[in-house]
Amino acid sequence: MGRLAGEIAALWARHLETSEPVGPDSDFFLVGGTSMTAIGIQRRLESELGRAVSLRQFFDDPTPRALAVRLLAEPAGDTFRPPGGDSPNGHPPGGDPEAPGEPAELPLTFAQLDIWTHTRLWPDTRGFLIPLAVDVAGGVDPHRLAEATSATLSAHPATRATFPLSAGTPVQRPGPASTRIEVPVLPAEHEDERRWLEGEIVSDSPDLASGSPVRAAVLDRGPAGATLVVAAHHVVADMRTVGLLWDEIARRYQGRPVRDAPGERLDALRRAVAANRRGGDAAARAHWAGVLRDRTPLTLPREVADEVAGAAVTRVVLGEADLRRVGRLMADHRASAMMVGAALFARAVGRLCGTRAPVLATLTENRPPEAADVAACFVNVVPLVVAWDGEPPLAALVERAREAVLAAHEHQAVPTSEILSLAGPAATRRDAWLRVVVDARDERALDLPLPGPATATRLLRITRELHNDLELSVISLRDGRLCWEVDHRRDAISPRAVAELLDAMLAELRTVPAGPGR
Write the pLDDT tens digit of every residue in 201-213: 666 667 888 888 9
User: How confident is the model at residue 83, as a pLDDT?
Assistant: 31
Topology of domain 110-276 in CATH is Chloramphenicol Acetyltransferase (3.30.559)
Evaluate the CA torsion angle 27, 33, 36, 42 in order and state its sign.
Answer: negative
230, 233, 235, 240 alpha-carbon torsion, rounded to 10°: 30
Name which of 372, 424, 478, 466 is nearest 40 in CA terms. Answer: 372
466-474 average pLDDT score:
87
CATH 3.30.559.30 fits 282-442+463-509, yes or no: yes
Q: Is the pLDDT of residue 100 over 60?
A: no
What is the distance between the alpha carbons of residues 68 and 61, in angstroms, rounded to a whole number? 9
Domain assignments of the chain as residue spans, ordered by start: 2-72, 110-276, 282-442+463-509
What percent of the chain stands above pLDDT 90?
31
User: How confident is the model at residue 388, as a pLDDT?
Assistant: 92
User: How confident is the model at residue 30, as a pLDDT?
Assistant: 77
Most confident of 21-30, 59-68, 147-156, 224-233: 147-156
Write the pLDDT tens digit of every residue in 34-90: 766 777 777 677 766 676 777 888 888 888 888 888 777 765 443 333 333 333 333
At residue 237's C-alpha, the angle toward residues 38 and 469, to 5°, is: 85
Query: What H or E segment, with its residue span, contains residue 436?
Result: strand 436-442
Bridge-based pairing of strands 226-233 and 359-365 is unpaired
Q: Check for a shared fold between 2-72 and 110-276.
A: no
- Terminal Cα distance for the chain, rounded: 26
345-358 average pLDDT score:
95
User: How confident is the model at residue 436, as a pLDDT?
Assistant: 93
> For residue 194, what are the contacts with CB-CB under 8 A and spacing of at least 6?
none
What is the distance between the alpha carbons of residues 288 and 402, in angstroms, rounded to a whole number? 17
The region of weakest confidence among 172-181, 264-273, 389-398 is 264-273
User: How confident is the model at residue 222, as a pLDDT?
Assistant: 86
User: How confident is the model at residue 370, as a pLDDT?
Assistant: 74
What is the distance between the alpha carbons of residues 251 and 353, in angstroms, rounded to a whole number? 48
Given 3.30.360.10, 3.40.50.300, 3.10.20.30, 1.10.1200.10, which CATH number is that of 2-72? Answer: 1.10.1200.10
Greater model confidence, 436 or 457: 436
Bridge-based pairing of strands 436-442 and 470-476 is parallel
φ/ψ of 512, rounded to 5, equals: -95, 130
User: How confident is the model at residue 32, as a pLDDT?
Assistant: 73
CB 337 within 8 A of CB 474: yes
What is the distance between the alpha carbons of residues 275 and 365, in angstroms, rounded to a whole number? 13
Supply the pTM of this predicted model.
Answer: 0.80
